[in-house]
């Protein structure tokens, strides 16, 4: 399995997303780097809107990830309730 | 989210909603479709079903305005704060600013080219899906060039080497390298443009361009650049996804597309890599504090990440570009050879170079244990000797350039373990001889010789008398490079003097 | 790091970039707009002729018959660069969003008479295709035009049109309670219905225009000047009195957008026409030609949707002619 | 492979010899002496004697290399290559008589001189 990765700006909005990722993706590896947080995961990484919403205390729209996104690797699948990265190999 | 009061109202999936919001085109009948979309067939790419296009991100214009507006408000607040607080004083050293000069003169104009290029393909494809995705990238790229200008505008007020970036990009010798790279993509057909910029540049190579610049900025106390960089990167993530979607779409539509796409991937990975030579030099030499060497970045972002990507494309019959071996063989030499060249020809380049100090050379020895002490430290020691004698070395010569990548013919035969011997490849076309730095550049030329004979090679243009005159002062005047202000060594420069005054060292 | 620096040392060497200073004057502070557009496009020493169009350079003043001594005379009175543009639109979309929510919450569509709904679905909704065509034309203008001042404005104009097409789509989906069949019906109207055909033909004819400035005249200056007032001023006023006031709320974005863009469009005509007699003649010819085309192309739609079509169309035409003459033409 | 264009594509020779005011372009490179980064370009009259190239043109470039003064062009130790083929120039004859035409590359190799640090710099 190849690794997908997601790099987010090290800012307040990212905190909740990272918490949600950790909760829903046991295999994800989170790394702090200068000014950014890097998440890698074998095969697939899911950001669930419901989980993030719980961490931010309001309805969180997966498109809000645009505000803190730096880079990614993998195919993207998004809908109202999730933002997913995956490889098919 | 507000739900309608009526329960029988259907809830649309994001995918369906986006489809309704973007599938707006029609088969024209008063004009022939081939006249309306005259450019999307001649390259030989076969598309049977434009509707098979999968939208990479599903952002409607209202959401786009909303999120981008929010991002820009944050970004400009930081740019303003940086200027108000004279943030430029907080960088590690004024040498760092040369990296920004390189960025504004060499990279920002490419963002503009990308803006116009994506607007062009967004008009030319007959499928609605790719047209929408491409136009969002077109406007994003306008954002990038403008936020870069606005961020670096503050540096321009204090440092030399920024003020004529637009004039320089069209004229100065080394800037013909990035310019011709983008002109090449822009003058190709729309599908090749997508592979060149959307896929090879944005997907395969963008992390090697932006992440090193931005982490370099973070390491060297340049908050304004970090901010525009990261803010732009969030758009890049969308662009990368578009690039990947574009290539998959082309490969899935017809098996005949595969060899054409492979040829373009090979070509454009190499073309992009050659431009990134500037980034290699920036990372290893221009950053007073280096977070990462060029070699490490290449290994992380190309050798590791790209492997996953090409594994994903394997099922279509796509292979890792054949230049990967050459690039890998050169990775311990590239940045040093480029820096040497700029050091030598710094009289004609509007940013500063300098000899690496002991601390930097030790770092380079550590990062390049196989090459630095053996080959490159002795070069700098030789030049340091000359500097001590008051004879800082500037070449009075003009280098031979590669017809394709337009870089001075400085590349050596690392692949055949002859790393101090320059590679010389040549071919003839229409009764004239043409010279190349590598087989890759030669092959690109031989595929389309009529295109590459047109290269506006700065050295030849000077000799033809098209650049203001025959002497260096004539040419500099034509460049609008102010001698002793924009060019020459950092040591003794106005930038250095000002910096020392700021630091109370003058 | 603590720094104690005498302020006297922190004096700027220059106020702006050389190319900007040469235009606005040495020592003057440049606006963000000026730095964002002036001389941003390459002008010289292009490397390769385009494979699809080798008679021109990548950026080439010869792509239009309009001749300008300086293409940066087309400065946008709104001073839109990317950031000021998206922030302005973000505000407007917020208002639009509130309007849509208001219409939904107050069930305003339930009280809308069926014949008004039918009229909107059959004779307004197909405009989403018109807007898409306008989007396409403005992308063409952005790609083919000369100078970052005018081409960046075309970029924004293109995205605005996509946004408008999406707002119209949204109105349709709201009226049909998300039944997408109304979209295919509207497309059917656009493709086959007699009243729509002259407009579709006029639009398709613009897709193959070679001269980009002529395309700008055809699309942004003339065709829009018929379509938009007809649909988003006159028709909506009439709908208000027929129980269709929700429509005006949902298209408020478009109405205010039109007012805003008129300033920029007027500038393009004024700047080009005041440059030379030749330009002026050319613009007169193009405007006459497209006013005739637009009048005939839009009339059948006016007859379908307006109470006094001939009178309204003449009003629209007169207003346009007055506006163009105010900007230097003699029509 | 041939170029795939939409319409007739022109052939525009940007650097044909007629554009150099009677000169022709000649490139000169010193093998395995990387201190001089690349071969250099010179616009030269085709009638210039090869010997003048050595005496007048090359020093301007290679004086910057400490080994250049040790090069002996007279004793036959220098290996010459014209457009990557070995050749023996006649110093008395002109460039063009020696077969050095427009955009020719002249490389010279000095087997006894191995560059700074003995590694080809």
Alpha carbon distances (Å) from C146 to B116, C39, C211, C275: 11, 11, 12, 16
**Count of beta carbons in the 10 Å neighbourhood of residue B403:** 29
Token pair 């939904």 in the structure block, residue? C104
**Predicted TM-score of the model (pTM):** 0.95
- Topology of domain A3-86 in CATH is Phenol Hydroxylase P2 Protein (3.90.56)
Mean pLDDT score, B151-176: 97
Q: Kindly tell me if the per-residue pLDDT of B11 is higher than 90.
A: no
Comparing alpha-carbon positions, the chain D residue that sits nearest to B411 is D38
Structure confidence at residue B230 (pLDDT):
83
Give the per-residue pLDDT at C27. Answer: 85
Q: Is the ipTM of this complex over 0.90?
A: yes
pLDDT digits (tens, 9 = 90+) for C234-251: 999 999 999 999 999 999
Contact C49 D4 (CB under 8 A): no
Edge-first strand order for the sheet with A82-86 is: A44-48, A82-86, A75-79
Count of beta carbons in the 10 Å neighbourhood of residue B275: 23
Q: Any idea which of B59-63, B209-213, B253-257, C278-282 has the lowest mean pLDDT?
A: B209-213
**B267-286 confidence digits (pLDDT tens):** 999 999 999 999 999 999 99
How far is CA A49 from each of CA A27, A68, C133, rounded to the nearest angstrom?
19, 15, 36
The residues facing D25 across adjacent strands are: D43
The model's confidence at residue B208, banded by pLDDT at 50, 70 and 90, is: confident
How far C57 CA lies from chain D's nearest CA (Å)?
A: 12
Domain boundaries, chain A: 3-86
What is the per-residue pLDDT across B81-92, written as a single tens digit (0 to 9) for each?
Answer: 999 999 999 999
Token representation of residue D46: 């085709």
Which domains are assigned to chain C?
78-252+261-326 (1.10.620.20)
pLDDT at B212 > cutoff 70: yes
Between chain B and chain D, the number of residue pairs with CB atoms below 8 A apart is 150
DSSP chain D: -----SS------TT-GGGGTT-EEEEEEETT-TTS-S-EEEEE-TTSBHHHIIIIIHHHHHTTSTTGGG--SSSS-PEEEETTEEE---TTSBTTTTT--TTEEEEEE-TT---GGGTT-
Whether B320 shows a pLDDT value over 50: the answer reads: yes
User: Could C49 and D10 be called an inter-chain contact, meaning their C-beta atoms sit closer than 8 Å?
Assistant: yes
* Mean pLDDT across B327-351: 97
DSSP, residue by residue, C139-179? HHHHHHSSSHHHHHHHHHHHHHHHHHHHHHHHHHHHHTTS-
Give the whole-angstrom CA distance, residue A21 versus residue A30: 9
pLDDT-derived band of residue B6, with 50, 70 and 90 as boundaries? very low
Pairing mode, if any, of strands D24-30 and D104-109? Answer: parallel
Rounded to 5 degrees, φ, ψ at B411 are -80, 135
Q: Please give the residue of chain D at the shortest CA–CA distance from B446.
A: D1
Which distant-in-sequence residues (6+ apart) come within 8 Å of B107 by Cβ? B148, B178, B209, B213
Q: In what order do the strands lie in the sheet with A69-73?
A: A29-33, A36-42, A3-9, A69-73
Can you tell me the mean pLDDT for C246-270?
95
Given a cut of 70, whether residue C147 has pLDDT beyond it is yes
Tally of CA atoms within 13 A in the half-sphere of D108 that contains its CB: 19
Q: What CA–CA distance (Å, rounded) separates D55 from D76?
A: 16
pLDDT in tens, C82-138: 999 999 999 999 999 999 999 999 989 998 999 999 999 999 999 999 999 999 999
Q: Which of B14, B70, B219 is opposite residue A78, by nearest beta carbon?
A: B14
Residue reference for tokens 């109470």:
C307
Of C51, C55, C56, which to mutate for an interface test with D (greatest number of D Cβ within 10 Å)?
Answer: C51
Q: What is the pLDDT of residue C3?
A: 52
Interhelix angle C277-305/C309-326, rounded to 10 degrees, is 160
Cβ contacts (< 8 Å) between D8 and chain C: which residues? 54
What's residue B213's pLDDT?
A: 82
A80/B14 CB distance under 8 A: yes
For the beta carbon of residue B502, count every other beta carbon within 10 angstroms. 19
Tell me whether residues B187 and C49 touch, CB distance under 8 A.
yes
Question: Does B7 have pLDDT greater than 60?
Answer: no
Asked whether residue B154 carries a pLDDT value surpassing 80, the answer given is yes
Q: Find all residues with CB under 8 Å of C94, minimum gap 6, and list them.
A: B66
State the average pLDDT over residues B40-63: 93
User: pLDDT below 50 — which residues of chain D?
Assistant: none
Overall average pLDDT of the C21-31 stretch: 93
* Cβ atoms of residues A22 and A60 within 8 Å: no
pLDDT at position A88: 80
Q: How many CB atoms lie within 10 A of CB D54?
A: 18
Q: How far is B125 from chain A (nearest CA, A)?
A: 23
CB contact under 8 A, B67 and A63: yes
Instruction: Give domain limits for chain D.
Output: 23-118
For CA atoms B356, B412, D83, D116, give the dihedral sign: positive
Average the pLDDT over B201-211 and give the result. Answer: 82
Neighbour count for residue D56 (Cβ, 10 Å): 12
B60-502: what fold? Answer: Ribonucleotide Reductase, subunit A (1.10.620)
What CATH number does domain D23-118 carry, 3.40.50.300, 3.50.50.100, 3.40.50.1820, 3.10.20.560? 3.10.20.560
Q: Tell me the backbone φ, ψ of residue B462, rounded to 5 degrees.
A: -60, -45
b/e per residue, C277-309, with b = 16+ CB within 10 A? eebbebbbebbeebbebbbebbbbbbeebbeeb
Please report, for chain B, the start and end positions of each structural domain, with discontinuous segments joined by +. 60-502
| Average pLDDT over every residue of B281-299 | 94
**How does residue C9 score in pLDDT terms, banded at 50, 70 and 90?**
low
Tens-digit pLDDT profile for residues B17-38: 999 999 999 999 999 999 999 9
In this predicted structure, the answer to whether residue B65 has a pLDDT above a threshold of 90 is yes
């Amino acid at each position: 399995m190849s690794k997908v990765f997601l790099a987010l700006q090290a800012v307040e909005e990212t905190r909740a997303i990272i918490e949600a990722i950790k909760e829903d993706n046991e295999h994800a590896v989170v790394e702090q780097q200068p000014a950014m947080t890097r998440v890698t995961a074998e095969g697939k990484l899911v950001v669930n809107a419901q989980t993030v919403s719980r961490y931010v205390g309001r309805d969180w729209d997966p498109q809000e990830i645009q505000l803190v996104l730096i880079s990614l690797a993998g195919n993207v699948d998004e809908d109202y309730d999730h933002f997913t990265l995956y490889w098919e190999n | 989210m507000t739900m309608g009061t009526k329960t029988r109202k259907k809830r649309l999936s994001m995918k369906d909603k986006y489809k309704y919001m973007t599938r707006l085109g029609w088969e024209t009948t008063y004009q022939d479709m081939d006249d309306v979309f005259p450019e999307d067939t001649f390259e030989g790419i076969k598309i049977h079903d434009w509707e098979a296009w999968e939208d990479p991100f599903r952002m409607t214009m209202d959401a786009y305005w909303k999120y981008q507006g929010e991002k820009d408000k944050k970004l400009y607040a930081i740019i303003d704060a940086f200027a108000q607080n004279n943030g430029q004083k907080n960088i590690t050293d004024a040498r760092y600013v040369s990296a920004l000069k390189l960025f504004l003169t060499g990279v920002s104009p490419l963002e503009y080219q990308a803006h116009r290029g994506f607007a062009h393909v967004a008009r030319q494809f007959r499928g609605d899906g790719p047209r929408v995705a491409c136009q969002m990238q077109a406007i994003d790229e306008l954002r990038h060039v403008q936020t870069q200008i606005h961020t670096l505008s503050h540096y321009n007020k204090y440092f030399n080497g920024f003020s004529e970036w637009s004039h320089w990009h069209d004229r100065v010798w080394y800037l013909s390298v990035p310019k011709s790279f983008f002109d090449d993509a822009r003058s190709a057909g729309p599908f090749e443009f997508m592979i060149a910029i959307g896929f090879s540049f944005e997907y395969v190579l963008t992390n090697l361009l932006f992440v090193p610049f931005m982490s370099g900025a973070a390491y060297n106390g340049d908050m304004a650049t970090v901010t525009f960089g990261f803010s732009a990167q969030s758009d890049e993530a969308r662009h990368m996804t578009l690039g990947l979607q574009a290539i998959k779409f082309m490969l899935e539509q017809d098996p005949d597309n595969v060899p054409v796409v492979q040829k373009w991937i090979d070509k454009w990975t190499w073309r992009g890599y050659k431009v990134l030579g500037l980034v290699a030099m920036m990372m290893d030499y221009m950053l007073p504090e280096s977070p990462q060497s060029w070699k490490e970045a290449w290994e992380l972002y190309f050798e590791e990440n790209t492997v996953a990507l090409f594994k994903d494309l394997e099922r279509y019959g796509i292979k890792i570009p054949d230049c990967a071996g050459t690039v890998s063989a050169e990775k311990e030499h590239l940045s040093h050879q480029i820096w040497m060249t700029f050091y030598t020809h710094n009289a004609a380049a509007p940013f500063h170079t300098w000899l690496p100090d002991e601390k930097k050379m030790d770092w380079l020895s550590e990062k390049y244990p196989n090459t630095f002490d053996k080959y490159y430290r002795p070069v700098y020691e030789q030049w340091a000797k000359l500097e001590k004698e008051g004879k800082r070395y500037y070449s009075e010569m003009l280098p031979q350039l590669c017809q394709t990548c337009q870089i001075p013919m400085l590349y050596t035969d690392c692949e055949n373990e002859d790393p101090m011997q320059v590679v010389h490849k040549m071919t003839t076309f229409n009764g004239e001889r043409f010279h190349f730095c590598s087989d890759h550049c030669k092959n690109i030329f031989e595929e389309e010789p009529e295109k590459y004979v047109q290269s506006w090679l700065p050295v030849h243009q000077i000799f033809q008398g098209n650049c203001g005159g025959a002497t260096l002062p004539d040419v500099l005047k034509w460049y609008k490079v102010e001698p002793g202000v924009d060019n020459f060594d950092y040591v003794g420069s106005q930038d250095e003097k000002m910096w020392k005054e700021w630091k109370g060292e003058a | 790091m603590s720094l104690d620096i005498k302020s006297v040392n922190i004096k700027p060497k220059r106020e702006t970039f050389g190319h900007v200073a040469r235009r606005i004057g040495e020592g003057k502070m440049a606006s963000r707009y000026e730095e964002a557009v002036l001389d941003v496009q390459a002008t010289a020493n292009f490397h390769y002729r385009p494979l699809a169009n080798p008679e021109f350079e990548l950026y080439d003043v010869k792509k239009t018959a309009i001749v300008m001594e300086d293409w940066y005379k087309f400065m946008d009175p709104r001073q839109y660069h990317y950031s000021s543009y998206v922030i302005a639109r973000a505000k407007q979309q917020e208002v639009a969003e509130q309007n849509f929510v208001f219409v939904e919450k107050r069930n305003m569509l339930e009280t809308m008479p069926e014949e008004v709904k039918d009229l909107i679905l059959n004779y307004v909704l197909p405009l989403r295709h018109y807007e898409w065509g306008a989007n396409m034309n403005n992308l063409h203008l952005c790609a083919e035009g000369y100078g970052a001042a005018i081409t960046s404005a075309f970029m924004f104009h293109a995205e605005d049109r996509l946004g408008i097409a999406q707002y119209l789509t949204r109105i349709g989906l709201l009226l049909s309670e998300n039944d997408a069949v109304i979209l295919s019906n509207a497309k059917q109207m656009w493709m086959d219905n007699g009243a729509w055909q002259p407009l579709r033909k006029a639009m398709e004819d613009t897709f193959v225009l070679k001269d980009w400035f002529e395309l700008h005249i055809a699309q942004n200056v003339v065709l829009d000047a018929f379509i938009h007032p007809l649909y988003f001023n006159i028709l909506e006023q009439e709908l208000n009195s027929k129980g269709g006031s929700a429509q005006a709320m949902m298209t408020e974005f478009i109405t205010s957008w039109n007012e805003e863009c008129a300033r920029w469009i007027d500038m393009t005509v004024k700047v080009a026409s005041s440059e030379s007699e030749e330009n002026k003649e050319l613009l007169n010819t193009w405007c006459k030609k497209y006013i005739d085309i637009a009048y005939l192309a839009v009339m059948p739609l006016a007859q379908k949707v307006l109470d006094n079509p001939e009178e309204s169309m003449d009003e629209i035409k007169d207003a346009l002619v007055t506006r163009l003459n105010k900007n230097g033409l003699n029509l | 492979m041939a170029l795939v264009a939409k319409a007739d594509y022109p052939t525009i020779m940007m650097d044909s010899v007629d554009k150099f005011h009677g000169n022709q372009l000649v490139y000169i490179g010193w093998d395995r002496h990387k201190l001089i980064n690349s071969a250099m370009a010179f616009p030269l009259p085709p009638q210039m004697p090869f010997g003048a190239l050595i005496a007048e043109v090359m020093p301007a470039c290679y004086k910057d290399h400490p080994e250049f003064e040790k090069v002996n062009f007279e004793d036959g130790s220098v290996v010459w290559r014209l457009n990557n083929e070995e050749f023996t120039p006649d110093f008395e004859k002109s460039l063009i008589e020696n077969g050095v035409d427009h955009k020719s590359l002249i490389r010279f190799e000095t087997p006894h001189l191995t560059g700074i640090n003995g590694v080809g710099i």
